[in-house]
Amino acid sequence: MLQTERSASIEDALRAALGGHEAEIWTALPAIIQSFDANALTCTAQPAIQAQVRAQDGSTSWVALPLLVDVPVCFPRGGGCTLTFPVAAGDEALIVFSSRCIDAWWQSGGVQVQAELRMHDLSDGFAILGPFSQATKVSGVSTSAVQLRSNDGSAYIELNPSSKAVKVVAPGGFEVDAPTITLNGQLAQGTGSTKYPATLQGPITVVNDVTAAGKSVSTHTHHENGAGSNTNQPN
């Protein structure tokens, strides 16, 4: 065998060995949620990319990867606050795989030893909800404000950094449950064509005056019609 042939053969063998090793290193995969455990905060997910396998006769085919089970779901959190949202079957996610075994950490938190000496394994994924394929992407995304919204865009809370304004659109209603509500600023009802009555159970204490239908509650007067008679409407 010539030296050039021997070198090429060694190089091909090394490439094949490295390629086979790389095929066993899992970094991240898009996946489709199959189920969600709201108590354990884990999900079962189906990887959305198939793997190519080679048969003994040299032929290749594409097969689905196994279901990923007990995958911790990542919700944005910090400083004692957490943003949660529903996780439903069919949601798309990005599964990011830890470079080392996460079993002991997942069970107990803190700093732990490796329960198994595996690396870049399909068993050690974290589910990050949010990626959209073109088949499921939402429309009408604001390019000027941050929104917490329903996928169809019919309900949202919006913060506009330019106008410094917050807007809430809630066709199903808006509810606040608090012992005290403090509003620092003028309160005005919108000028839409529909009139919205207000119902308050009271009692109501107003420090300053109240104007009703253009009349001052504290300073309005009535025309006197004599003893025992009703007064006229407020002046």
Find the distance separating the first CA and the last CA of the chain, reported in whole Å: 116
Span(s) in the chain for CATH 2.40.50.230: 1-137
* pLDDT one digit per residue (tens) for the chain, 235 residues: 545 555 568 777 777 666 666 677 899 999 999 999 999 999 999 999 999 888 888 889 999 999 999 999 999 999 999 999 999 999 999 999 999 999 999 999 999 999 999 999 999 999 999 999 999 999 999 999 999 999 999 999 999 999 999 999 999 999 999 999 999 998 887 766 666 778 888 888 888 888 888 888 888 887 777 676 667 676 6
- Domain 1-137 fold: OB fold (Dihydrolipoamide Acetyltransferase, E2P) (2.40.50)
Q: Please provide the DSSP assignment of 130-188 as one string.
A: ----TTT--S---SSSEEEE-TTSSSEEEEETTTTEEEEE-TT------S-----S---
Neighbours of 113 (CB within 10 A): 7
Judge contact between 47 and 62, C-beta under 8 A.
no
The pair of three-digit structure tokens given for residue 1, joined into one six-digit string: 């065998």
Contact predicate 30/92, CB 8 Å: yes
Q: Where are the beta strands (DSSP E) in the chain?
A: 28-37, 42-47, 51-54, 60-63, 68-74, 77-78, 81-82, 92-97, 125-129, 146-149, 156-160, 165-169, 211-212, 215-216
**How many C-beta atoms surround the C-beta of residue 42 within 10 A?**
18
Give the integer Cα–Cα distance in Å for 50 and 58: 18
